[in-house]
Amino acid sequence: MTRGELKEILGDRPDANLRSKQIALHLYTRNVDNFADMRDIPQALRDELAGRFDVQPLSTASHKTSIDNVDKLLVHNGDHQVYECVLLPYENRVSCCISSQVGCPMGCKFCATGLGGFDRNLTAGEIVGQYLTLQRLNEKRISHVVFMGMGEPLLNLKNVVKSLRLLHDEVGLSYRHLTVSTVGLVPQIYELAKEKLPIHLALSLHSPLDEVRNRLMPVNHKWPVKEVVQAMKDYMRATGRKITIEYLLINELTDTPEQAHELARIIKGTPNVVNLIPFNWVDTGEGFSRPSNDRVRAFRGILASKGVNVTQRVERGHDIAAACGQLAGMHKGKFARRAPSTVLPVVG
């Protein structure tokens, strides 16, 4: 709930404005997970709220820590519909990667999440709950949030937008430190632009050639490269945020010089950043492999020579399958393409 919604549930109490601010502070800043600990609120009101509502933090079914201090949690909301979120501490900041859906229906051929199928959208509370759950693991404030976990955020646009507003208005994060990643749903890109939120929108492009992107991403059959790149340019003009391209380098498939030149061409003249992601191994049955360092350097060099602002993703959490494309969450939902495995028991 937003502060306004909290005030609304308090009705016509003369102190509703004060109490709603106090409750929001406890929930989103102090990370309190029960009414009993909201001690600056009168006992009678705490009892009333406890009788009407739950402060329901997510339950953790699994917690893994990588050799480079990345934490990956498998969480749920009291059921067996599990999803993953990742805490990423860096020297100068703490970031987290959160999910927007239980599973993913997009079927990208390089991604573990899509292998498990799809069940449902997450609520705004479940999305923000991931942030709050991860924050309890680290004394430093999580300042950056990326919607790059399980699911396609723009398929859950209403809840994602509300969660962005909660993270900004209630938790206190800068919109400029919030990034939403999409495979390129053109109508939803325009819908998001209308919200006028100064967030980063990142396009998972992965190839500038339709014949290659068609093989990797079924969405490209509906919205091909030219159309989705134009939508991103229109989004940039509407919001003032530069185009961000996520680009997966798969050996001898997406890492060719031809594609580097074409990528530079289609974004020429537009403020941009291209983030290169060498393929993290996932057994998708496609036989994909990671390019050599020489091939990565060559691709990056071509982009840089064309004036493209190019970076390379810092890889974290690979040993616990927490890197890009590896979040599967032991999820087995509708349309799953993996063999069933043991369902985790509900914990907590």
Q: Tell me which residues are annotated as active site.
A: 84, 324
**Cβ-based neighbours of 338, under 8 Å, separated by 6 or more:** 115, 116, 332
Please tell me the distance from the alpha carbon of residue 336 to that of residue 197, in angstroms, as a whole number. 34
Please tell me the distance from the alpha carbon of residue 62 to that of residue 344, in angstroms, as a whole number. 9
**Cβ-based neighbours of 144, under 8 Å, separated by 6 or more:** 93, 94, 95, 96, 173, 177, 178, 179
Helix (H) or strand (E) holding 50: helix 43-52
Q: Are 35 and 48 in contact (CB under 8 A)?
A: no
Burial tier of 222 (Cβ tally within 10 Å: 0-12, 13-18, 19+): exposed
